[in-house]
Amino acid sequence: MNKLKSLSLGALLLLTMNLAAQNPNFYIYLCFGQSNMEGQGAIEEQDKTVDSRFLTFQAIDCPNLNRVKGKWYTAVPPTCQCNSKLSPVDYFGRTMVERLPDSITVGIINVAIGGCDIRLFDKDIYQNFDSTYNQSWFTSKVAAYAGNPYKYLIDLARQAQKDGVIKGILLHQGETNTGQVEWLSYVKKIYHDMLKDLSLNPQSVPLLAGEVLTAEGNCCSAMNKIIDQLPDSVHTAYVISSLGCPAQDQAHFNSEGYRMLGKRYALQMLKLMGYHIEDKMQ
């Protein structure tokens, strides 16, 4: 009897320790997509000062940044790969901590692959899309995520859930799938797979999907007509407008464009959390 009592007390203590380790005031956001989510904007001086309440969960070892996989760091860009640049995620997090109470910390996990088809994140068929571009710049990025970006992101998310609570999923992807109406069903499956694999409630974990460039002369703005239909397929999805966000080339925003888009992601998330937001679209 004493042995059973001891075991029960031990199990209770372990459970209590695990619950205590998870901070309900630590809000975590999963981010995935292709090159614009990676970040292609020049990191300028104004981007290098970051509130310590905005953290990034390092996805891969980056000796050049003195960061190792699976640890939290202040989210000084780059926040995706070792040599990526400014991303919408950077100003999503900054805006969140500016508007949220001081008791709240915001963390992001960013797994993105430039040029990828959205189906690279489909856990059932990803192997059909791991060499969409059979060139080292692409295949090396997939390899950095152990060849399976979806599983890699989920594994990181499970680890991060020990520290905080996943509050949302951010997507920026579509250029490679321009014109494919099926993109809507592809995204729906991936989102629901994420919810199921991480035991998340869609009502508590919305999906925010950003439009691709709308600037004149770009490659892929036709995709926005499809992206804009996502809430019809996924009722907990919200589209983030890219209208007026400046570009640096035919496919990518410039630094100011990323700042604007990132802030819009944040303002939408804050509205969903019940915060009164008066900002007009910037």
Q: What is the pLDDT along the chain (282 residues), one digit of tens a residue?
A: 444 444 444 444 444 344 447 999 999 999 999 999 999 999 999 999 999 999 999 999 999 999 999 999 999 999 999 999 999 999 999 999 999 999 999 999 999 999 999 999 999 999 999 988 889 999 999 999 999 999 999 999 999 999 999 999 999 999 999 999 999 999 999 999 999 999 999 999 999 999 999 977 899 999 999 999 999 999 999 999 999 999 999 999 999 999 999 999 999 999 999 997 776 555
Asked if the structure places residue 6 within a domain, the reply is: no
Q: Which residues contact 2 (CB under 8 A, 6 or more apart)?
A: none
**Cα distance between residue 26 and residue 275, in whole Å:** 17
Q: Judge residue 5's burial from the number of C-beta atoms within 10 Å of its C-beta, 0-12 exposed, 13-18 middle, 19 or more buried.
A: exposed
Asked if the structure places residue 102 within a domain, the reply is: yes
β-strands 72-74, 54-57 pairing: antiparallel
CATH number of the domain bearing residue 193: 3.40.50.1110
Asked if the structure places residue 2 within a domain, the reply is: no
Contact of 210 with 260, CB cutoff 8 Å: no
Asked if the structure places residue 17 within a domain, the reply is: no
Asked if the structure places residue 115 within a domain, the reply is: yes
Show the tokens assigned to 216: 């004149």
Residues taking part in catalysis: 35, 249, 252
What range does the domain containing 97 cover? 24-272
pTM over 0.85: yes
Asked if the structure places residue 11 within a domain, the reply is: no
pLDDT at 8: 46
Residues in the chain: 282
**Cα distance between residue 198 and residue 195, in whole Å:** 5
The secondary structure of 40-100 as a DSSP string is -B---GGGS---TTEEEE--S-BGGGTB-TT-EEE-PSP-SSTT--B-HHHHHHHHHHHHS
pLDDT at 282: 54
pLDDT at 242: 98
Domain total in the chain: 1
Asked if the structure places residue 136 within a domain, the reply is: yes
pLDDT at 280: 54
